[in-house]
Structure 1
């Protein structure tokens, strides 16, 4: 009879990292990403899926929708969830470092898109690697949460989608806000730019609000009709990581031009 092996901190970090990038409805033993992680750490897909469901139990956004995941968590599960839920950047960096060690590789080799190989080895390179990993996985987590579709229009071409910060990156806390998926919206490029410049916002009921500058701007009739159509329409809400009310309030008060 096989001896039951407790989950280590490193394995739980990997499960938490994957949880941020898999819709709750797709957590199951047949998910290819779950199968891949199971092979990597020598566990069954059932075991990995169960661990991810245990972590989901601590997700307040799922609880608000009366979805609470499994309740048979270990003492380590809430600790890992609490430590990393608001800091996807640090979670992703640690997870990728663990995977690189298992594979006898490096983060730079596994994710060449980071483009840090030309930076001299040292503290600055590590800082840049962390920052770029944070941005890379923040985008991935936000797009997955919204089903890879714009939350305003439903556009689902990834090349035209942006993981837009509600509270801007430059003024966000590095540990709790910059890579927090609840500080993100999946927007098409035009709505992203309008949101970034405060020409539109969302209210606490998750409705799009146009500013007077959009209403007064010169544009052709079809474009005006397009903006007007979505004014006061509720956005499509994500599978998890609902937009944070504090982030929305910041955008309403500081960024939005009224």
Structure 2
């Protein structure tokens, strides 16, 4: 089963600016008593008028109800707002417009909790009707579907590698491509973080807001978004990796450029790198070799 729900544009845009927390709260201004979804069912975000397209999704974790203040304490910016005051004001505004209940200073809300949420770029949105999942405009809450999920392939909702990663011709330039201009980056991040257990492969950090998906062979096009061409790295480690100040050798140990002087990083030299247990998603040896030979800066004066 999967579900599609009309989604507030402000909530979507706030979370899209990321980093996306591991647990996102798709809150409802009054309790919806969601009972039909089970863990890992896909939950799609249908952006409200005037867009009316699916712009992202998450995997269902659980449904609970609680006062808005408690939701802020538990989920913070995972509520899609910047402060407790903003959350309560937004809930009260929804309630007042619909005269759903007596206004409260701390209203009780429904919390549809989602893991591994993905927020796509505008040109990646898909209208559900275009893939055969009809969603009438009269639906104001979520709609359940028992059909085969045709939104997933249309959105690129999973990166399944049928063949091992191979190096992509055309690299070796210094041209940088903005992440906002790369299709599939939100999906790539969640796939890589999941493969690595939401843990930096170098430092072991699990702070979700700091974790990023690094391309081993620098990004060329969508073929670069292969699970074997990705590493889960803390943001600062990712910057060093992209800058050629650290690399990973064939023994899966960290190597540090002599150009890197900060003791905190220098002492990591020779440290073993943690990789997934599943062989199919471990980093490509060819990609690591490319990074070591073409990106890493091993000489002091080079």
User: What TM-score range do you get, normalising by the shorter chain?
Assistant: 0.3 to 0.5
TM-score normalised per structure 1 = 0.47
**Structure with more strand by fraction:** 2
TM-score normalised per structure 2 = 0.41
Rg (Cα) greater in structure: 2
**Structure with more helix by fraction:** 1
